[in-house]
Structure 1
Amino acid sequence: MILKNASVFVDGKFLPADITVSDGRFETIDSKAAGKAASGKQTDDEIIDLSDKLVIPGFIELHSHGCIGYDFTTSAPEELEKMCEFYSENGITSILATTMTIGYDTYKRAMLNIKEACENNTKGSRIIGINMEGPFLGAAKKGAHDTRYLLSINEQKYEELNDLSGDRVRLIDLDPDLPGAIPFIEKYSKKKVISLAHTACDYETAVTAIKAGASHVTHLFNAMNGLHHRAPGIIGAVSDYPVNAEIICDGIHIHPSVMRLVFKAFPEKLILISDSMSAAGLEDGSYELGGQKVFVKDGKATLKDGTIAGSTTTIYKAFKKCIEIGIPVEQAVLSATLYPAKAIHAEEEIGSIAAGKRADFIIMDKAYNIEKVYSGGKLLVSH
């Protein structure tokens, strides 16, 4: 397959280029050949003229709990496949199935269901691992996680859950204030990504955790202490140290002014996530997250007491929201593609358009509307 005359996102900018895709991978990206006729040896290939179109890498979602009425923690494998179809319709080609604090037996079933979905899924986005959010979180900043099911750091339980998943856990969220957290980080950060999450920890504790091996921060500004000029907390640690930070750009979780501020302060660390729950893609109403009732009004999801309970957005909507509030489009693309790939050490396979990498990409018009989505060179979605 040859994609000709597109504006292609390569090395952080848009360039006029022709792309050759072969055996599910990008074979060549040739900006010099843009606009030229295909050579004789290419005449048997499918040639697609993409004049006035944009080509960007497929979106990568590291933190989504659910959509269209389903949830990674409580839904059956066939329902997870329906979720993956929804994600692909919104430009996501790779996703970490994100679990939620819940009763331990339910958690074990979730790991088995995700494993089965990974082994048998043939439609939509690829589940490339698990983001294990909970149960090792702090009660002080629990957010929508049910206090009844929060656990202290427990290596045996983590090992059991990871084994049930077929060793698919790629990211572990935890509160560094919990007893045993620092030794856990030192041990498991050698093979897994450790994220600081749902914690009231101070700057010093965050720095200790980062030096121990934590390299990620879960939904920056949310479920943590705010930035204070004498108590910088996790946000100050993100500024000072080489860690990645998730952000929910839905206009609800973080004010646009603060979004613009952090994109100026440390843009290369920021990763767009949705933190979506089962209401994403559906109307306002009553839903469930982690066994708790969630009420959605005007797209805002909350518990009965008003606590924000995930979001109803998507990476695609977050991408467009970034552009709407003044974030450069190039930065929005990087935060939805290359930076999440780097965060989970997958950048050699996905996250950018380069020769040899998996051909996951989105074709958009110049208003950033998705027209087609490809995964491994295979057409998933055509709008």
Structure 2
Amino acid sequence: MIYKNLRVFTENGVFRPGAIEVRDDIIANVYFGDDVSPTVSGENLDCEGAYCFPGMTDLHFHGAMNCDAGDATIEALQTMARYEASIGVTSICPATMTEPVATLEQILSNAADFRDDQLRHPEKHTGEAELCGINMEGPFISIEKKGAQNEANILPCDAELFRRFQKAGRGIVKFIGLAPEMKDPMEFIETVRSEVNVAIAHTNADYDTALKAMKAGAKHLVHMYNAMPEMTHRNPGVIGAAFDCKDVNAELICDGIHIHPSVIRSTFKMFGRDRIILISDSLRATGMGDGTYLLGGLQLKVEGKHARMMRDGAIAGSVTPLPDCVRIMVKEMGIPLEDAIYCATVTPAKELGIDDRKGFIKSGRQADIVFWNEDLSQRFVLKDGN
């Protein structure tokens, strides 16, 4: 199938007039210019100037459609994967909460079972986002900055415990979060940095402590600005340290609630799109409605776009899916569409290490493709060419 009359998102992260040819589950060719070469024949579809870009990757979200990765069931992951694919998020890396050790092992084992079944029996998983890993947000975090995490399950950094988690999930853990002010964090980072992406998460660290951790090998910052000290002119904190370490990439939640639009604009000026990873941090209430839900065994209340913990009113996460975050960035925050798309496709794919087959509209890549209309409404989605 040839999809014509498109604005194609190029490898350089800009839109150009063109067309794409999809064969089976692969992008066979990409053509630029007003028309496809007359030598190319086959069934074609006029897309009327639609935006065409890679399927999005959400490497930090918890759930959707009243399901959560923490439910530790195949059915929950399948429901989440189908929902995400239907809205254009074709690759996912769900996040765990700070749960008891045995619960985390069960969650990871279940996720590995689901991942393996997707790989072995793709015919059973048509229309699902691909599970590319798990993002462990806890349990090695700060009590002071626990946010929506359960304080009772917070533990000190432990490399052997991490390896237990990795064994339970058969290598499925792609990110492990920690607060670098905890006991022996540098030893932990240096021990496991070749095995997993070490992330700074839910931390009360100062600039010097964070900088030391980053130089030791922590190269990922979990939902920057949230669950960490504020950046000030005398105490730049974790955010200042991340800015100074050019090989550290940062997650941003752009739902219009977690971070002020002015701060989002400033962050793009500071970090640039190559270092920003758009995440949703979305909860099981995503795609549902107002009500009371569970997160990591704790109750939260959802009203409109707001989700807050019932115990203390703290922001619990988001109920805004990743594509809507892109739309908010463009329509309400003044971020160029090309930059917003880049941070939802290219940077997360690179961070997850799947950019050899995802994240680009390029010949030979997986045909996970999103088509949007001029007003940024969804036109249709291809998952594996279907």
TM category (shorter chain) comes to over 0.9
User: Which position in structure 2 is the counterpart of 1:201?
Assistant: 205
**AA aligned opposite 1:315:** L
* Match for residue 367 of structure 1 among 364, 375, 380: 375
- 2:151 match: 147
Aligned to 2:365: 357
Counterpart secondary structure, 1:362: strand
Name which of structure 1's ranges 236-245 and 315-324 shifts more when overlaid on structure 2: 236-245
- For residue 314 of structure 2, what is the amino acid of its counterpart? T
1:226 aligns with 2:235: no
In structure 1, what is the Cα distance between the partners aligned to 2:351 and 2:185? 21
- Name 2:29's counterpart in structure 1: 28
**TM-score, L = length of structure 1:** 0.94
Quote the offset at 1:84 in angstroms. Answer: 0.7
Q: Output the CA distance in 2 between the equivalents of 1:311 and 1:143.
A: 13
Could you tell me how far 1:349 is from its partner in structure 2?
1.8
| Comparing 54-63 and 262-271, the one that deviates more | 262-271
Contact 2:159–2:191 (8 Å) recurs in 1? no
Are 2:62 and 1:65 aligned?
yes
Match of 2:20 in 1: 19
Amino acid at match of 1:310: G
CA shift, 1:180, in A, is 2.2
Shift of 1:171: 1.0
| Pairing 1:259–2:252 present | no
CA distance in 2, matches of 1:276, 1:36: 40
CA contact (8 A) 1:194 1:215 kept: yes
* Mapping for residues 12-161 of structure 1, pairs under 5 Å: 12-32=13-33, 34-36=34-36, 38-39=38-39, 42-43=40-41, 45-121=42-118, 122=125, 123-161=127-165
Aligned length in residues: 374
Query: Any conservation in 2 of the 1:320–1:368 contact (CA below 8 Å)?
Result: yes
Contact between 1:74 and 1:106, CA under 8 Å: does it hold in 2? no
Matched, 1:299 2:296: no
Please say if residues 8 and 17 of structure 1, whose CA atoms lie closer than 8 Å, have aligned partners that are also in contact: yes
What's the CA shift for 1:120? 2.4
Give the equivalent residue in structure 1 for 2:171: 167
Q: Which amino acid aligns with 1:12?
A: G
Distance 2:136 2:301 in 1: 24
Q: 1:36 to 1:360 in 2, by over 3 A?
A: closer
3-state SS, counterpart of residue 252 of structure 1: coil
Residue of structure 1 equivalent to 2:6: 6
From 317, 325, 350, the equivalent of 1:318 is 325
Aligned partners of 1:162 and 1:169 also within 8 Å: yes
Residue 293 of structure 1 aligns to a residue in which SS? Answer: strand
* CA shift digits 1:346-371 (9 cap, x unpaired): 22221111122222110111111112
Task: Spell out, residue by residue over 1:79-129, the C-alpha distance to the aligned partner (whole angstroms, 9 max, x if none).
Answer: 210111111122100010211111222111111211122122414111111
User: Is the Cα contact below 8 Å between 1:97 and 1:114 reproduced in 2?
Assistant: no
Partners of 2:249 and 2:314 lie apart in 1 by 25
| 2:277 equivalent to 1:271 | yes
Whole-Å Cα distance in 2 between the matches of residues 138 and 179 of structure 1? 11
Deviation at 1:37, TM superposition (A): 5.5
Could you tell me how far 1:64 is from its partner in structure 2? 0.4
The aligned amino acid for 1:287 is Y
Deviation at 1:342, TM superposition (A): 1.5
Does the CA contact (< 8 Å) of 2:18 and 2:36 recur in 1?
no
Work out whether residues 326 and 341 of structure 2, in 8 Å CA contact, stay in contact via their aligned partners in 1.
yes
- Partner Cα separation in structure 2 for residue 46 and residue 179 of structure 1: 62
> Under a length normalisation based on structure 2, what TM-score does the superposition of the two structures give?
0.94
Q: Which amino acid letter does the alignment assign opposite residue 298 of structure 1?
A: G
Question: What stretches of structure 1 move > 6 A for 4+ residues in a row?
Answer: none
Distance 2:359 2:262 in 1: 27
User: How far 1:376 sits from its partner (Å)?
Assistant: 2.4
Separation (CA, whole Å) in 2 of partners of 1:79 and 1:229: 45
Match of 2:277, SS?
A: strand
1:215 deviates by 1.0
Once the 2 structures are TM-superposed, how far is the Cα of residue 151 of structure 1 from its aligned partner?
A: 0.9
Residue by residue, what CA displacement relative to the aligned partner does 1:10-32 show, whole Å, maximum 9, x if unpaired?
Answer: 02111011212234222221214
> Matches of 1:138 and 1:282 in 2, distance apart?
31
1:52 is paired with a residue whose SS is: strand
Contact 2:307–2:315 (CA under 8 A) maintained in structure 1: yes
Provide the rounded CA distance (Å) in 2 between the counterparts of 1:117 and 1:2: 33
Distance 1:29 1:312 in 2: 35
The residue type equivalent to 1:178 in the other structure is: M
Cα pair 2:61 2:279 within 8 Å, conserved: yes
Q: Match of 2:87, as an amino acid? A: N
Q: 1:267, CA displacement in angstroms?
A: 2.1
SS of aligned partner of 1:219: coil
Distance 1:157 1:188 in 2: 11
Q: How far apart, CA to CA, are the structure 2 residues paired with 1:353 and 1:233?
A: 38
1:38 to partner: Cα distance: 4.3
**Structure 2: runs of 5+ lacking an equivalent:** 119-124
